[in-house]
Amino acid sequence: MTVVAPESGQGDDIQRILHEVFGFPEFRPGQAEVIDTLMAGDSALAVMPTGAGKSLCFQVPALALGGLTIVVSPLLALMQDQVAALQLAGVRAETINSGKDRSQNVEIWRRVAAGEISILYLSPERLMTERMLAAIANLPVTLIAVDEAHCISQWGPAFRPEYADLARLRELFPGTPMIALTATADAITRRDIADKLFGGKASIFVQGFDRPNIRLGVAFKQDWKRQMLAFLGRHRGESGIVYCLSRKKTEEISTYLLANGIPALPYHAGMDKDHRDGNQDRFMREDAVVMVATIAFGMGIDKPDVRFVLHTDLPGSMEAYYQEFGRAGRDGAPAEALMLYGLGDIRMRRMFIEDEGGNDDRRRQEHKRLDALLAYCEAPQCRRQTLLAYFGDEDDDPQPCGHCDLCLDAPDPVDGTDLARLALDAVRLTGQRFGAAHIVDVLLGANNEKVRKFGHNRLDSHGAGKPHAKAAWHSILRQLVAGDYLQLDLEGYGGMALGVRGQAVLRGEESFHYRPDATPASGGLAKEPRKPRGRSARTAAAEAELSTADHDLLAALKTLRSELSKARGVPAYVVFNDRSLADMARRRPTSEEEFATIHGVGQAKLEKFATAFLALINEFCQ
């Protein structure tokens, strides 16, 4: 069940940790309720959008409860960055992983066993060995956190078999509260996580799925390389991710972007590990780098200043897409997501579902999930409404967001029932086995060899669609497929056949409305957005308040942050995020007492960084 959030009423110790360790004056929405549950000894599943502060939900109670907290995390890079951030905040955190040599791991375990470590990060593979479980059983484990919890569910967008063994934890540690955290879980996935990890006995908190700072857009592939360059041209000098379906395409696009003056790096599972890890490290630590990747890249990537995500191919489901574009804009500042897709993508995704195995129920469910994504692509109005409705996160009175491509620059849906009948009749008369290109040729009256070979130049449909352009017919056919009026032949060559809805249109029992394609020259979104609804972009708002002189100081503070982060071998945001620097630039603290009131400055960071930043601010002011 989804619980109604109780009154927070956190104790003085919780508030002290929040302020003195992490430097925050108050909790974000949803955090206090989850923490209250864990402090009461109960387990929880927290579904919170990226950037909402999921990690704090277990880090604060970990310090308040004492003893040892075990954090299960799927990726080495994610564990290392989170441990580095905690250590800078003065928290005794560590990770044992394959990236360290044996002597390092042995020394860390000695400190864990001696009670010198408060939070220990482990991969599921390392935690669930009999040797590690037996060793941990002798320690005072007070909390277990499972990050990226959708990995445990077969319905999640990134199911990992090694996560399945975590279901044993509730039996091995029966008196220990557990928390599972994810940003990506629809109702089916949430129930599956709760059943596997908690036996159904846990409070489920759903904070919401809206990411109002991310502008959403979809464009049909026409000249996808030109569309890609146009999109990236609007994001020159910014970090971003370009997702591709294949390893080969990843390599080709990164080379193509480099040739066009865009600093791009490839990332896919087929690369040498050192090369792949080196590219990820450079992306995390440098500005203005574009990562061109398969879905092997991204889970747990905690880089806050990713300004865009571009999909050059159709993702596998709405959950997968939400997770992937959600890597943009973690800092709350404006970001943009664009998806390019075509009929070939739909056929490929259908084939993947059929070929991956599983029983009929699973295949049926996966086809439904893909249908939901196609409905999002072909939505007649506000994409954000369609997205939130899928996850069950709707307002009582939903309003257009004013911030996606359909709210900004989309033609109104028109009645295309007569056009649909022409297209559907052409599919029927040609034998329901030809692809879109041939059907369009027939409708436009083409006299090529293939049309003559099959005698389709003698059909009533031949030339019946001449008043309309070729691109318009391709768009109509695409929307007929997305709406399940037409079905694609998955085992053949993409031939189209009438669906139940298409047959109903031909019988005059159903209508068809479609959206005429907008000119795709811009690659997607062209107009400036209106103010987004929902949670404000906190960092953008903070920087908008700065004067010209403040912006000059902010630039100097970012340079200092970069130098300090490089010296410590951590990403810049681990030292301070942009919101903290904007707060410094606006308020210009002159003493340690004033510096301690800056957003994100806890006691440990005050001791480590106050002197350097105060000196720079003083020099700038003079």
Q: Cα–Cα distance between 601 and 387 in angstroms, integer?
A: 36
Owner of token pair 């979809």: 218
Q: Which pLDDT value is given to residue 158?
A: 65
Q: In the chain, what percentage of residues exceed pLDDT 70?
A: 90
> Does the pLDDT of residue 535 top 80, yes or no?
no
Q: Cα–Cα distance between 55 and 89 in angstroms, integer?
A: 14
Q: Write out pLDDT tens, residues 21-34.
A: 999 999 988 999 99
Pull the structure tokens for residue 74: 């799927």
Averaged pLDDT, 201-212: 89
Question: DSSP letters along 388-423, please?
Answer: HHHTT---SS----S-SHHHHH-PPPEE-HHHHHHH
Q: Which pLDDT value is given to residue 583?
A: 93
Model confidence band, residue 420 (pLDDT cutoffs 50, 70, 90): very high
Rounded CA Rg of the chain: 27
Owner of token pair 């971003």: 240
Output the 3-class SS for 186-200.
CHHHHHHHHHHHHCC
Q: Write out pLDDT tens, residues 434-473.
A: 988 899 999 999 999 999 999 999 999 999 999 999 888 9
Q: Which pLDDT value is given to residue 201?
A: 86
**Distance in angstroms between the alpha carbons of the first and the last residue of the chain:** 59
Model confidence band, residue 1 (pLDDT cutoffs 50, 70, 90): very low
> Does the pLDDT of residue 87 top 60, yes or no?
yes
Check: CB of residue 226 under 8 Å from CB of residue 523.
Answer: yes
The interaxial angle of helices 360-377 and 383-390, nearest 10 deg, is 160
Output the 3-class SS for 529-556.
CCCCCCCCCHHHHHHHCCCHHHHHHHHH
Pull the structure tokens for residue 588: 């210009």
Q: Cα–Cα distance between 262 and 505 in angstroms, integer?
A: 48
Q: Cα–Cα distance between 488 and 290 in angstroms, integer?
A: 34
Q: Write out pLDDT tens, residues 288-297.
A: 899 999 987 8
From the list 573, 555, 567, 553, the residue with the least C-alpha distance to 614 is 553
> Does the pLDDT of residue 531 top 60, yes or no?
no
Q: Cα–Cα distance between 62 and 609 in angstroms, integer?
A: 25
> Does the pLDDT of residue 71 top 90, yes or no?
yes
Kindly list the structural domains of the chain, giving each domain's residue range(s) and its CATH number in brackets, ordered by start: 12-206 (3.40.50.300), 214-401 (3.40.50.300), 414-514 (1.10.10.10), 538-621 (1.10.150.80)
> Does the pLDDT of residue 409 top 90, yes or no?
no
Model confidence band, residue 372 (pLDDT cutoffs 50, 70, 90): confident
Instruction: Provide the 3-class DSSP secondary structure of residue 167.
Output: helix
Q: Cα–Cα distance between 382 and 394 in angstroms, integer?
A: 13
From the list 197, 195, 193, the residue with the least C-alpha distance to 158 is 193
| Residues across the chain | 622
Pull the structure tokens for residue 613: 């930043």
Across the chain, mean pLDDT equals 87
Owner of token pair 């430097």: 23
> Does the pLDDT of residue 49 top 90, yes or no?
no
Q: Write out pLDDT tens, residues 467-504.
A: 999 888 988 887 888 777 888 775 556 688 998 999 99
Output the 3-class SS for 459-511.
CCCCCCCCCCCHHHHHHHHHHHHHCCCEEECCCCCCCEEECHHHHHHHCCCCC
Model confidence band, residue 4 (pLDDT cutoffs 50, 70, 90): very low
The interaxial angle of helices 56-65 and 31-39, nearest 10 deg, is 30
Check: CB of residue 439 under 8 Å from CB of residue 427.
Answer: yes
Check: CB of residue 265 under 8 Å from CB of residue 241.
Answer: no
Q: Report how far apart, in Å, the C-alpha atoms of 338 and of each of 367, 377, 537 are.
A: 23, 11, 19
> Does the pLDDT of residue 311 top 90, yes or no?
yes
Model confidence band, residue 200 (pLDDT cutoffs 50, 70, 90): confident
Higher pLDDT, 326 or 548: 326
Model confidence band, residue 591 (pLDDT cutoffs 50, 70, 90): very high
Q: Write out pLDDT tens, residues 89-141.
A: 999 999 999 889 999 999 999 999 999 999 999 999 999 999 999 999 999 99
Which residues, 6+ apart, have CB-to-CB distance to 132 below 8 Å? 122, 126
Pairing outcome for strands 214-220 and 239-243: unpaired
Question: Taking the model in full, what pTM does it have?
Answer: 0.74
Check: CB of residue 46 under 8 Å from CB of residue 183.
Answer: no
Output the 3-class SS for 229-246.
HHHHHCCCCCEEEEECCC
Q: Which pLDDT value is given to residue 11?
A: 60
> Does the pLDDT of residue 595 top 90, yes or no?
yes
Q: Write out pLDDT tens, residues 125-184.
A: 999 999 999 999 999 999 999 998 988 887 666 677 788 899 999 999 998 999 999 988
> Does the pLDDT of residue 547 top 80, yes or no?
no
